[in-house]
């Protein structure tokens, strides 16, 4: 009879062999379902790392490939649920360049991670509080990446007007962040 250490070692060998033999197939499946290739690779690596970390518990498992697949599928489901919840809550992804522009205007260090996450939350509230024309320009320009020319044609206003609205909006957002910093 094998000792627990020998059994875990044999399971680790099986996990490594499964990775070599079936890893590409798992990755191909993950790439079809993940939002991007990097996430797919992360999900694959996470599943195999979990398998290695739980080698003792997986020893009696007959279908290791099935366990790996289930782990990957569950990770993707968690990812989708998280993205869906953030969208339902109204969260938006603000581009780095925009965050840096507003942070610089407010005198903040855009590299400070804790400050950055708190600033992002405050900024989302401040964007929602802008007058509608300014809010529309910020959302179109900074979030959706629509150019001034295209936006001017869609809104029926001049590019100069849109640029002024953006400039006023950035000043208001900077003032809101300065207020947020002081409180």
Residues 9 and 53 in one domain: yes
Among the candidates 38, 60, 88, a domain finishes at 88
Among the candidates 61, 88, 115, a domain finishes at 88
H or E stretch including 83? Answer: helix 64-88
> Is residue 148 predicted with pLDDT exceeding 80?
yes
The range of the structural domain enclosing residue 25 comes to: 4-88
> Any idea what the CATH number is for the domain that residue 46 is in?
1.10.1740.10
Task: Report CA-CA distances (Å) from 118 to 82, 92, 105, 159.
Answer: 19, 14, 17, 32
The whole-angstrom distance between residue 148's C-alpha and the CA centroid of its chain comes to 27
Q: Per the structure, how many domains does the chain have?
A: 2
Residues 55 and 100 in one domain: no
> Is residue 170 predicted with pLDDT exceeding 70?
yes
Among the candidates 63, 88, 113, a domain finishes at 88
> Any idea what the CATH number is for the domain that residue 151 is in?
1.10.10.10
Does the global pTM surpass 0.75?
A: no
Q: What is the pLDDT of residues 95-116, one digit of tens each?
A: 666 766 776 776 666 555 445 6
């Amino acid at each position: 009879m094998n000792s627990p250490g020998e059994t875990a070692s044999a399971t680790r060998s099986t996990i490594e062999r499964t990775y070599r033999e079936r890893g590409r197939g798992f990755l191909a499946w993950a790439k079809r379902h993940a939002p991007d290739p990097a996430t797919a690779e992360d999900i694959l690596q996470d599943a195999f790392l979990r398998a290695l970390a739980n080698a003792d518990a997986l020893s009696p498992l007959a279908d290791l490939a099935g366990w790996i697949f289930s782990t990957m599928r569950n990770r993707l489901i968690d990812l989708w649920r998280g993205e869906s919840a953030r969208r339902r809550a109204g969260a938006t992804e603000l581009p780095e360049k925009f965050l840096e522009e507003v942070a610089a205007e407010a005198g903040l260090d855009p590299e400070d991670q804790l400050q950055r996450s708190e600033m992002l939350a405050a900024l989302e509230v401040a964007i929602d509080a802008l007058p509608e024309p300014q809010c529309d320009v910020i959302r179109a320009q900074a979030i959706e990446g629509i150019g001034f020319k295209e936006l001017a044609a869609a809104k029926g206003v001049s590019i100069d007007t849109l640029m002024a609205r953006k400039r006023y909006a950035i000043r208001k957002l900077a003032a809101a962040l300065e207020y947020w910093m002081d409180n």
